[in-house]
Structure 1
Amino acid sequence: MDSEKRWTFVLLDTLLMAAGFGTLTFMGVAKPDIIRHFGISSDAYELQHIAYVFGLFVAFLIGHTKLYEGSFKRSVGIAISWAAIPQMLIPFTGNWNVVVFLRFIQGFVVGLVPLFSTQIARYFVSERPFAKGIILSGIFWGGVFGSISARYMLGRVPWKESFLITGIIMYIVYAIWFALTEDFEIRHKKASEGGINIWKLPFTWVLGFTFFPALWVIFTIIGFSSKLGYDAGWTKDQVSTLSTLLSISKALWSIGFGYLGYLLSKKNTTPRGLFNAIVKVMITAYLVALIGMIIYSYGMLSRSYSIVLASVVLVGALQGTGPAFWTSAPATYPETVVARANFALGLISNSANAVAPTVTEVLSRYSEGLALAELSLMPVVGIVTLLIVSRMRLPVEEFKE
């Protein structure tokens, strides 16, 4: 396959990621309308976000079922439907508890991430981190542009119609993606069929936890920053600017560290060489983020908006671990279990989603400094875990494929 066609697939994946995640920002922008429509409190409204984040975790359990076997295009269609169908149903739902459940279902859209990892493993070797970095940036570009378009649309169109329109937009983008991408078969070879039981490999668990600290902070810091910002007396525009800058930072770091991964990977394309490049990229990203978290913590404790605003540019480097992590499975596992390994690694790492915001909130009730110290410690945990996994034997070496 020619290079132009492969990179076209990457751009199409990025567009679909942006559509799938960007339209979900309408829930946050439409908060006043939704609270008024359902007659709920602000605390009750937050239940939908908790449900959505927990759905991001459960999504990787689904990846081990036969649902994502067979046609790659069909599997992507299922993943995008988890977001699109609930998006169109929410306006017609009269019960808030049902909305919370639909938001839980929308979290399953994250299944796009391991599916696209399996795809790019077919077309790239040393370029995998760069390709994956571009694709993952779509999540954050979607958040930025989705938020902007939501404010524009909701100022002109009632919130119910806007939800319906954005659900349709997801399917329009999927139709374009479907028409221009190439299909292939996904098959999860199980241990009973002569495959490898990836859950019994210590390597799987340690590698999965290398990304856990990054997600711990990524899925906590935006909401935590908003809480501390409002407590400090910052305006809504200031808090919004902080969130937007962090999203842009994560998108740019995703691409930048992805490119760094490519530069390091092309020097040695053996499994061990590719994995060493992955480890180096993730450690570098954690080091930059550690500096950012220290500055961020100081700024929050001193209530300095300018310091916090500057710090999130560095904190966003946490997302730079993503492109490397999501290309680790094809570099380290035999080809027959790469798809299954992607979902397993995603499940382990995304377990942070289920507990991180709650733990941080509980700690902050005792002391803001304690909560900030916990978040700042996470990059250190990530670096230590990476040093451990770098000394382990790769599955592809162990099973000599």
Structure 2
Amino acid sequence: MGRWKTVILDTLVMTAGFGTLTFMSVAKPDIIGHFNITSDQYDLQHVAYVFGLFVAFLLGHTRIYEGSFKRSVGIAVSWAAIPQILIPFVGNWNIVVFLRFIQGFVVGLVPLFSTQIARYFIAERPFAKGIILSGIFWGGVFGNIAARYLLGYVDWKTGFVITGLVIYLVYLLWFLLVEDFEIKHPKSGDARINVWKLPFTWALGFTFFPALWVIFTIIGFTTKLGYDIGWTKDHVSTLSTTLNLSKALWSIAFGYLGFVLSKKNTTPRGLFNAIVKVMIIAYAFGFAGLLLYSKAMLSGNYELALFSVVLVGALQGTGPAFWTSAPATYPENVVPRANFALGLISNSANAIAPSITEALARTNEELALIELSMMPLIGILALIIASRMKLPVETT
């Protein structure tokens, strides 16, 4: 099957996997009523889900994703699908929270697809990855619309079951059409390098940390500030939808920029230099957006806020470049393990960013906005440091 058709199918799997998870927020009133819980108790499921996104990368260092690539993707989508189907039949809210934690493991699709596209592309990797990553945000947009439509015809329990089955239907289509291969993790005696012992791994992993800090904080933070300002539910929803659309489109656009820059020099150092340039440009756009966002939220200027989130979404442009860095910089035999290691380091932001930002906002909203605005500058500094280090592939 054609390489780009595979990219489109990967994107559909991402869209289905992450889009299905939006059903929880759309069905919020029904769920609160069914389980007889408070809004604060309801929010625990989101905290658990975000923490699951972090823990998911630990699984990449086990044998669970070793062997058949198709089987590994099936396991990854099952983390989302099976809990989705089970939630309506669970009577205890604490179990639902745990199932939401498990659903966060679906992010394992990201490093798995990174390993896949490394086999098919070189200079085109950022563009292919940008398209695939956009599926996360298409899922947020279309999943929200589809969930609202579905709830007009069925009760929330049936909706959960249907959306869980949709993931498997899309996976089945993907399974029948894509090529399989074997994922090999080097055995302890075979690996030429231990990715965790390399300072480069930690430096590179941290280059994406500031972007994820903002990406996983900004929507919830915007919702809180928006309602505090007095904006309506439609206003807040429009901001969220605009931000998701922005992230999807920036992901593709910066992925294409990565391709344009990468094809000029396809040596490991040339590819990595292109990755660094793309991420710095994305951080620069994001920094400008966050400055405007801060001004808009402090002044209550909705039009400016709407424009600012379009620029803030450019932070997602760092993603396609980052997720193609392992194949460019590590020896081929450790790329799968490096993908999960880099994901674990960068996604540690998921576990702490929302709570730290919320704590700062309770003290002073300006302080929280300054913290968010500084993240792109930290990201640029991290990229400069990483760009001056020797690549693992250059030392073996």
Q: What band does the TM-score fall into relative to the shorter chain?
A: over 0.9
| Match of residue 287, structure 1, among 284, 287, 291 | 284
**Separation in 1, partners of 2:90, 2:233:** 29
1:278 to 266, 275, 279: 275
Match of 2:67 among 60, 64, 70: 70
Distance 1:239 1:154 in 2: 21
1:180-238: CA deviation from partner (whole Å, max 9, x where unpaired): 00000001114432431100000000000000000000000000000000000000000
CA distance in 2, matches of 1:94, 1:209: 40
* Percentage of matched positions with identical amino acids: 76
Distance 1:245 1:369 in 2: 23
Partner deviation per Cα, 1:96-132 (whole Å, 9 max, x = no partner): 0000000000000000000000000000000000000
- Describe the superposition over 1:139-160 as per-residue Cα deviations: whole angstroms up to 9, x where unpaired: 0001100000111111211000
1:157-183 CA distance string (max 9 Å, x none): 100000000000000000000000000
Does residue 335 of the first structure (1) align with residue 332 of the second (2)?
yes
- Structure 1 segments of 4+ aligned residues over 4 angstroms from their partners: none
Are 2:10 and 1:23 aligned? no
Corresponding residue for residue 97 of structure 1: 94
Q: 1:345 aligned to 342, 346, 352, which one?
A: 342
Q: Which residue of 2 aligns with 1:381?
A: 378
Tell me if structure 2 keeps the 8 A contact 1:212–1:349.
yes
Inter-partner Cα distance in structure 1 for 2:114 and 2:21: 22
Equivalent pair of 2:191/2:334 in contact (CA under 8 Å): no
1:359 to 356, 359, 363: 356
Match of 1:5 in 2: 2
Q: 2 CA distance for matches of 1:198 and 1:229? A: 43
TM-score by length of 2: 0.99
- Separation in 1 of the partners of 2:188 and 2:270? 27
1:198-237 to 2 correspondences below 5 Å = 198-237=195-234
1:154 has 2:143 as partner:
no
TM-score, with normalisation over the residues of structure 1? Answer: 0.98
Distance in 2 (CA, whole Å) between partners of 1:177 and 1:290 is: 37
Pairs aligned (count)? 396
Q: Match of 1:269?
A: 266
Partner SS for 1:192: coil
5+ residue gaps, structure 2: none
Matched, 1:193 2:185: no
- Give, in whole Å, the separation in 2 of the partners of 1:376 and 1:189: 40
Residue 91 to residue 117, structure 1, CA distance change in 2 (3 Å): same
Which residue in the other structure is 2:76 paired with? 79
Counterparts of 2:191 and 2:236, CA distance in 1: 53
Q: Structure 1 unaligned runs (5+)?
A: none
Q: Which shifted more, 373-382 or 186-195?
A: 186-195
Given that 1:190 and 1:197 are in contact with CA atoms closer than 8 Å, whether structure 2 keeps it comes out as: no
The one-letter code matched in structure 1 to 2:21 is: L
- 1:32 aligns with 29
Q: Is the Cα contact below 8 Å between 1:190 and 1:196 reproduced in 2?
A: no
CA distance in 2 between counterparts of 1:308 and 1:143 reads 20
Aligned partner of 1:167 among 160, 164, 168:
164
Asked whether the 8 Å contact 2:191–2:333 carries over to 1, the reply is no
Residue 257 (structure 2) aligned to one of 241, 256, 260 = 260
